[in-house]
Amino acid sequence: MILGIEAAAKVAGVALWKDGQIISEEMVNGTLTHSETLMPMVDRVMRSVGVAPEALTAIALSAGPGSFTGLRIGAATAKGLALGLDIPLVPLSTLEALAYQAALASGRIVPMMDARRGQVYTAVYRWENGRLQTIWEPEAVSLETLRERLAAEAEPAVLVGDGAALYAERLRPAVLAPAHLMHASAAAVATLGAQKYAEGMHIPGDALQIEYLRKPQAEREREEKLANQEQQKE
């Protein structure tokens, strides 16, 4: 019994996986903050199928990259539940969970999340032998760099994620996934998490680390300001 939590971007979602099936799921793509929606969704998802928290085996979590605020709220929720129930966590790359949505697509699967300042968080995967294979590791790159990389190979590419929706026109002939596959889903997190849990890829709740890929904007701006001040002194 795996509880999947997705809160890395605008979409917040919770899903419950049991014995190879998603038995309950809820997602919100709205204006409320994750701090308002996430725990009530956990409660509703579990109550809807009569599952008590003590029945959970593990909690799978989309652990970055993504929104710094969303990641922290998701991590705090998952960590608190895992520690309280004394069960492990299964942290997943948000980009891998996004790609898992389009797992059966032919060719390259390219998850994209808007990292702002002209960059996207991205990676490239391919579905082979019933598993996602990583072609390019997750990183923050400029849109131009991604465009050049995709254009260097003739293999078809499918774009998923909020960054894909923003920049698909500039990355043609890569194609945009349909709406129901565009956002990372808690069902994908729970299903992929169940697979990784079975392979022993889980950790204690207090060992969780978020994968930001890039420093928070406030920290980057502070570093730039200090660097400018140093240059002016010279």
Task: For residue 109, give every residue at least 6 positions away whose Cβ sits within 8 Å of its Cβ, in sequence order, or none.
Answer: 99, 102, 103, 124, 125, 126, 127, 132, 157, 158, 160
pLDDT confidence band for 220 (50 / 70 / 90): very low
pTM score, whole prediction: 0.89
The residue-averaged pLDDT of 114-141 equals 93
**15 pLDDT higher than 80:** yes
Average pLDDT over residues 2-16: 95
Alpha carbon distance 158, 166 (integer Å) = 14
42, 214 Cβ separation under 8 angstroms: no
- pLDDT at position 33, please? 81
For 114, counting Cβ atoms within 10 Å of its Cβ (0-12 exposed, 13-18 middle, 19+ buried), the class is buried
- Could you tell me the domains of the chain? 2-93+184-218 (3.30.420.40), 95-182 (3.30.420.200)
For residues 43 and 199, what is the distance between their CA atoms, to the nearest angstrom? 28
| pLDDT reported for residue 224 | 55
| Tens digits of residue pLDDT in 26-71 | 999 876 688 889 999 999 999 999 999 999 999 999 999 999 999 9
